[in-house]
Structure 1
Amino acid sequence: MNMTMDTTLLLLFIAAFFLGSIPFAYLAGRLKGLDIRQHGSGNIGATNAFRVLGSAMGATVLLLDAGKGVVATLWAFSYAGETAAVIAGLAAIMGHTYSPFMRFKGGKGVATAAGVVITLVPEVALICIILFAIVVAISKYVSLGSIVVALALPILIFLFNKPLSYQIFALATALFVIYRHVPNIKRLLAGQENSIRRNYPKF
């Protein structure tokens, strides 16, 4: 890999990071005159947007957060190929979770990661979406659905015989998402996690 490609990948990473760092949930809250960090779980992500801002605004935030992953990945792929797409996807997820606009705090990366997976491996993304919906429908815990899908992602990528770069991305993303959900895991084990029944607006 020559210096030109190294520079290209670095610039793509930086651009994707800042794209991912756009705090759509925070901006949506401001449109309603509130700081979402002071409500619900305090998280700057789609799940808390649903909880605090309602179904319509929550769905909009979800699409926008996923869209960050889609745009970053597609752009990098078209510009520099498969490896660049994976790097940009990871950068967008990192930007979402450690937004410089929010003092390096942010969401948990699930929606943005979903956007990346949808772009790279749509067939795997479809299975993950179905699995997520089943787990949440049964358990009523969004966090549990996210954790289960994170665990399933690298396995599915391997079973579908995807490129090594995709497998590395899936494993890194899974570990990162689970790490971000450690507080949720502790609450789940203690029976104190927030469920859909108690905390979400009716659809």
Structure 2
Amino acid sequence: MVVLAVVVSYLIGSIPVGYLLGRARGVDIRQRGSGNIGTTNVWRNLGPVAGVIALAGDAGKGLAAVLLGRYFGGHGLELACGLAAIAGHSWPLFLGFRGGKIIATGLGVFLGLAPAAALLALGLWVIVVIASGYVSLGSIVAAVSMPLWMLVLHQPGKYLAFSLVVAIIAVYKHIPNIRRLLAGTESKIR
């Protein structure tokens, strides 16, 4: 049952919400804007309604995986299922292993694991995006802040370790954005 739950979580994570929203409008979102299937690119190219749906869908995948793991095996399995959903979103089976940058799916995972920490990171994301105009910078800062929130809120050590792994993946997925931020060529939300 453990292996099945992790595999199902990966497959849930692999559902390319942004891509499917684009296809419903006759658009391959991977051929527009940044080429990413995530919320920001969907919002910019398909509009705010589609962007919100992509955000909700991607976050929902992460939350569903955590709940699946919790139901079938408790804390250890919920972490494995959450990571599987993140991996599925980032490297989806259905799109040749080329997916999103894990921020929305990670939000869903952390809403299931540690809601207060997730909301603090989301608040930080909002502040950074409003102050800087860069969604990518807000995403990086929010992801990197998760281990801090886990410490401040006295979450279990395994949640802290998990948040470190997710932060590393998030930074890795944002390397092109980091390069553009440093070069001054990153697109602002405004």
TM over 0.5: yes
Query: How much has 1:9 moved relative to structure 2?
Result: 2.6
2:13 is equivalent to residue 10 of structure 1 = no
Cα-to-partner distance string for 1:131-179 (whole Å, 9 max, x where unaligned): 0000000000000000101111011112211112211110000000000
Residue in structure 1 matched with residue 151 of structure 2 by the alignment: 158
Q: Distance in 1 between matches of 2:162 and 2:40?
A: 23
Q: How many residue pairs get matched?
A: 190
Query: How much has 1:16 moved relative to structure 2?
Result: 0.4
Residue in structure 2 matched with residue 47 of structure 1 by the alignment: 40
Amino acid at match of 2:141: V
Q: Distance in 1 between matches of 2:131 and 2:115?
A: 24
Please list every run of at least 4 consecutive aligned residues from structure 1 whose deviation after the TM superposition is greater than 3 angstroms: none
What RMSD in Å do the two structures reach over aligned CA positions?
Answer: 0.8
Q: Distance in 2 between matches of 1:171 and 1:29?
A: 32
Of 109, 128, 152, 1:116 maps to 109
**Structure 1 stretches lacking a partner, 5+ long:** 1-7, 198-203
Q: Is the 8 A contact 2:151 2:160 kept in 1?
A: yes
Q: Distance in 2 between matches of 1:79 and 1:100?
A: 23
Structure 2 counterpart SS, 1:196: coil
Identity %: 46
Of 112, 115, 126, 2:119 maps to 126
Normalising by structure 2, report the TM-score: 0.98
**Structure 2 stretches lacking a partner, 5+ long:** none
Of 180, 184, 189, 1:191 maps to 184
Q: Distance in 2 between matches of 1:177 and 1:130?
A: 17
Larger-gyration structure (1/2) = 1
Normalising by structure 1, report the TM-score: 0.92
